[in-house]
Amino acid sequence: MQGVNVFENGIGYMLKCLSLYTAGTGFFVMYLAAILFIVIKGSKRDRQIFIPQAVVLLVTVYNPLTPVILDKIFDVSSEYYRLFWIAPVVVLVPYVASLIITDAKAGAQKGVTAALIAAVFVLGGNFVYAKGYTAATNIYKVPDELITISEMIHEDSDTEYVKAFFEYEYNMEIRQYDPKMLLCVDREDYIYAVNYSYTQEMLENDDRPQDKLLALLVRNQKLYPDQFTNALDATNTAYVVLTKGHPQIPFVKSAGLYPIGETATHIVLKYDLKDPYEYELVDYSEVQHRFSYRRLK
């Protein structure tokens, strides 16, 4: 869970986690109220179904000590919230709501009860499309421009596989559409660059040329032109795709890259690699098909 971990929060972790999980919605409170309703007014069958699990959940998953104990065995900080999925909120709350509405006396009382419950559901929740519904513009469900850029690069390139640098969203999306587009930066490296700057020591490490690309193109840190082009050569990256307003476009052009095309919001720049090599898939046709593992400890 982002920004909350068991080590720092100790027994306060569970409540913080629950607070982030519910995000101001009232559904967890409604779940507790529904349990109370079942205890007081539920049938024997309803109590047998819903009450034992609620009690066990309360003393296990919702016990502030549980994540602290579990964390000594596994790192549970990032995924503990998924245990909250076990509480059958989506079953019990609607069930009790439907019982309350249908048990109300016919006429005005039923109407008012239904309206009140509908209001609690709507006002006590966060509507999934509250910030608007974004419809996909093509069957691939990626931006149209990404498809155009992919076609543009393959048309320009002489090789089957090409390696490129894309900015954040396109970097995450391009290989979902185009597996022949190789990337010089993987997801974790990109996420690091979004959050942290690179130290001089990191930029001097020639084993990680991608850090130089990220420092310049994500962090806007200063680099010499040959540091940038050497990083492109080291990673065999021939194409750089940037948004048109990117502040490093003049620098990138001065380093020797030139535009081969553009879309409404992006520009595709090419670098003539000093010593390009063609990417080839590993040949498995001759290998022995046997399971291979190694004990490391």
Question: Which of these ranges, 80-88, 198-206, 212-220, 255-263, lies near other proteins under the rule CB under 8 A?
Answer: 80-88
Please state, in angstroms and rounded to a whole number, the distance separating the CA atoms of residues 139 and 141. 5
Say which residues have a Cβ less than 8 Å from residue 100's Cβ, sequence separation at least 6.
Answer: 37, 113, 117
Question: Which of these ranges, 138-146, 151-159, 243-251, 262-270, lies near other proteins under the rule CB under 8 A?
Answer: 138-146
Out of 3, 40, 105, 134, the residue judged to bind other proteins by CB under 8 A: 134
In the complex, least distance from residue 200 CB atom to other proteins, rounded to whole angstroms: 26
DSSP 290: -
- Looking at the DSSP assignment, which residues form a beta bridge with residue 242? 267
Return the number of the residue (54 or 269) whose C-beta is nearest other proteins: 54
Residue list 142-201, contact with other proteins (CB under 8 A) = 142, 161, 169, 171-173, 175-188, 191
In contact, 66 and 60? CB cutoff 8 Å: yes
Return the number of the residue (109 or 199) whose C-beta is nearest other proteins: 109
Nearest to 203 by CA among 193, 195, 252: 193
Return the number of the residue (184 or 232) whose C-beta is nearest other proteins: 184
In the complex, least distance from residue 229 CB atom to other proteins, rounded to whole angstroms: 20
102 binds other proteins (CB under 8 A): yes
The DSSP bridge pattern shows strands 239-243 and 266-270 to be: antiparallel
How many residues belong to the site for other proteins (CB under 8 A)? Answer: 92
Residue list 30-59, contact with other proteins (CB under 8 A) = 45, 48-49, 52-53, 55-57
In the complex, least distance from residue 42 CB atom to other proteins, rounded to whole angstroms: 11
Return the number of the residue (274 or 294) whose C-beta is nearest other proteins: 294
Q: What are the backbone angles phi and psi of residue 269, rounded to the nearest 5°?
A: -110, 145
Out of 41, 82, 222, 253, the residue judged to bind other proteins by CB under 8 A: 82
Residue list 13-32, contact with other proteins (CB under 8 A) = 20-23, 25, 27
Question: Which of these ranges, 197-205, 223-231, 262-270, 275-283, lies near other proteins under the rule CB under 8 A?
Answer: 275-283
In contact, 77 and 4? CB cutoff 8 Å: yes
In contact, 228 and 153? CB cutoff 8 Å: no
Question: Which residue matches tokens 């003539």?
Answer: 272
Please state, in angstroms and rounded to a whole number, the distance separating the CA atoms of residues 55 and 68. 20
Question: Which of these ranges, 97-105, 198-206, 224-232, 258-266, lies near other proteins under the rule CB under 8 A?
Answer: 97-105
In the complex, least distance from residue 199 CB atom to other proteins, rounded to whole angstroms: 24
Please state, in angstroms and rounded to a whole number, the distance separating the CA atoms of residues 76 and 195. 22
Look up residue 278 and give its two tokens.
């063609």
62 binds other proteins (CB under 8 A): no
Please state, in angstroms and rounded to a whole number, the distance separating the CA atoms of residues 71 and 50. 28
- Calculate the CA 187 to chain-centre distance: 10
In contact, 265 and 243? CB cutoff 8 Å: yes
Please state, in angstroms and rounded to a whole number, the distance separating the CA atoms of residues 268 and 150. 10
Return the number of the residue (164 or 242) whose C-beta is nearest other proteins: 164
In the complex, least distance from residue 290 CB atom to other proteins, rounded to whole angstroms: 6
292 binds other proteins (CB under 8 A): yes
In the complex, least distance from residue 253 CB atom to other proteins, rounded to whole angstroms: 26
